[in-house]
């Protein structure tokens, strides 16, 4: 028992000595760490002031541009179709053929007869028919006039003709902004006088007829007679106009006739019969599409397309933020996808008045022509990158935009570095500017050193 107790006491003493040793080591480590902390120099907490950056005024070029993309299109292109249906009897072209203005490209059945009828208008027989129509129209007018003259009486008829002429003159004066009040008043007086005298002689004539019991005139008779005279005048004018066209030959009947009347309508129908039975090229160009064969039944759908190839345009799009850079006559540079290493110059010829939406984005639509000759083959439908040159300044003074200090809207200054290192604020006049550089029109010279603040520039 005593031996066991002695062993336990000896073990307790060894544990106590180990614990004290561990405590001493921990204390020593803490003291060393604290000493190192207080002895180590503290880091500087104040950041260094950024260095002032400068640059020299230099000469160079400044070009303001905008980039876009587009497609080559012909300056003129038309889809041709017959106005009426029929059987295609003649086809004179194929895709790729060069055609001239006025060239007949295709014909329907019946076209030959329509052209024969048209040419017959200008033969001796056709001329005689037109002359006879004019003679008959003149006789109809003479007869209508005589009836009206009988109903009114000679004196009243004379003053009615004077009244009609005066009223026509007054209408012309009222429509003329240069006409004076005196002219209008004088003519109105003539109108009033003619009407008064016409009514006087008409009343006198009616009374005389009533006394003699020969004839009773009422207002409806006069209205009908006057209407017949006016209609006869229109028919005579129509017949005379048609006669002049027939005398002029086929070349006088190449455009639509706008006046109405039986004789002019007869000529216009003959012209339309020819026009509706054939397709004619409206300009010099190339056939780029053909969807028909001889013998085919056709309607009014487009059969072929003619386009110009010697006058190509580029229709291109710009971001709406570049609207101010898209001006007529601005130079452009084209880079075609087919010729990525070649650029061709051009010029804007028009800007569409409204924005369009492409892929959900509003864009400016502009048209440009090629102004430089190129050996490259340019075809309609080619895609092209476009760079618009909105403004440019060559061999001018330039400074980085970071050097500018805006004093007021449109008024600027820069800080010029003096020989002693001080800064002097100097007003300058600024011309063109882009995101990087600004043109200096006055206030600086080449080699001046200016401050750009803390922004480093190249």
Contacts within 8 Å (CB) and 24+ apart, 345-353: 345/370, 345/371, 345/372, 346/314, 346/370, 346/371, 346/372, 347/371, 348/388, 349/313, 351/326, 351/327
The structural domains of the chain, with segments of one domain joined by +, span 1-46, 77-110+277-307, 113-274, 395-451
Determine the pLDDT at residue 127.
96
pLDDT band at 322 (very low <50, low <70, confident <90, very high): very high
Among 18-27, 100-109, 197-206, the minimum mean pLDDT is found in 18-27
Tens-place pLDDT, residues 180-231:
999 999 999 999 999 999 888 888 887 777 677 666 677 888 899 999 999 9
Report whether pLDDT(123) > 80. yes
> Among candidates 418, 428, 335, which has minimal Cα distance to 378?
335
Tens-place pLDDT, residues 26-44:
433 333 343 444 444 444 4
DSSP-derived letter for residue 23 is H
Q: Looking at residues 162-179, what average pLDDT do you find?
A: 93
Asked if the 77-110+277-307 domain carries CATH number 3.40.50.1100, the reply is: no
> Residue 169 contacts by C-beta under 8 Å, 6 or more apart in sequence?
187, 190
Report whether pLDDT(13) > 90. no
Determine the pLDDT at residue 214.
65
Determine the pLDDT at residue 221.
87
Q: What CATH number belongs to 395-451?
A: 2.40.420.20
Chain centroid, CA 118 distance in Å: 39
Q: What is the mean pLDDT of the chain?
A: 87
Neighbours of 259 (CB within 10 A): 13
Chain centroid, CA 289 distance in Å: 26
């Amino acid at each position: 028992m005593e031996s066991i107790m002695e062993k336990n006491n000896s073990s307790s003493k060894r544990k106590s000595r180990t614990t004290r040793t561990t405590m001493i080591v921990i204390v020593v480590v803490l003291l060393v760490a604290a000493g190192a902390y207080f002895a180590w120099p503290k880091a500087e907490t104040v950041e260094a002031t950024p260095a002032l950056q400068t640059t020299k005024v230099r000469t160079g070029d400044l070009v303001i541009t905008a980039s876009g993309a587009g497609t080559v299109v012909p300056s003129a292109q038309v889809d041709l179709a017959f106005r009426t249906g029929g059987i295609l009897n003649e086809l004179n072209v194929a895709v790729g053929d060069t055609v001239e203005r006025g060239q007949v490209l295709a014909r329907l059945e019946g076209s030959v007869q329509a052209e024969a009828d048209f040419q017959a208008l200008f033969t001796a027989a056709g001329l005689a028919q037109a002359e006879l129509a004019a003679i008959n129209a003149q006789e109809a007018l003479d007869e209508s006039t005589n009836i009206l003259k009988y109903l009114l009486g000679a004196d009243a008829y004379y003053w009615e003709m004077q009244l009609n002429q005066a009223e026509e003159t007054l209408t012309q004066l009222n429509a003329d902004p240069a006409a004076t009040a005196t002219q209008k008043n004088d003519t109105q007086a003539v109108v009033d006088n003619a009407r008064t005298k016409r009514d006087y002689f008409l009343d006198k004539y009616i009374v005389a007829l009533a006394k003699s019991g020969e004839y009773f005139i009422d207002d409806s008779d006069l209205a009908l007679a006057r209407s017949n005279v006016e209609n006869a005048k229109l028919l005579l004018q129509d017949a005379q106009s048609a006669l002049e066209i027939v005398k002029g030959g086929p070349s006088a009947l190449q455009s639509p006739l706008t006046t109405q009347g039986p004789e002019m309508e007869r000529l216009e129908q003959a012209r339309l019969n020819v026009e509706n039975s054939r397709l004619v090229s409206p300009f010099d160009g190339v056939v780029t599409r053909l969807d028909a064969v001889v013998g085919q039944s056709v309607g009014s759908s487009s059969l072929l397309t003619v386009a110009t190839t010697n006058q190509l345009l580029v229709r291109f799009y710009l971001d709406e933020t570049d609207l101010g850079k898209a001006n007529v006559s601005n130079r452009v540079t084209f880079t075609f996808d087919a010729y990525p290493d070649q650029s061709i110059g051009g010029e804007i010829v028009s800007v569409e008045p409204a924005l369009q939406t492409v892929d959900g984005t509003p864009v400016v639509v502009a048209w440009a022509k090629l102004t430089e000759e190129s050996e490259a083959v340019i075809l309609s439908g080619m895609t092209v990158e476009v760079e618009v040159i909105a403004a440019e300044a060559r061999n001018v003074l330039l400074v980085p935009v970071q050097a500018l200090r805006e004093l007021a809207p449109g008024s600027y200054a820069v800080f010029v570095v003096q020989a002693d290192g001080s800064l002097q604020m100097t007003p300058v006049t600024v011309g063109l500017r882009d995101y990087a550089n600004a043109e200096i029109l006055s206030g600086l010279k080449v080699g001046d050193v200016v401050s750009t603040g803390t922004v480093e520039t190249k």
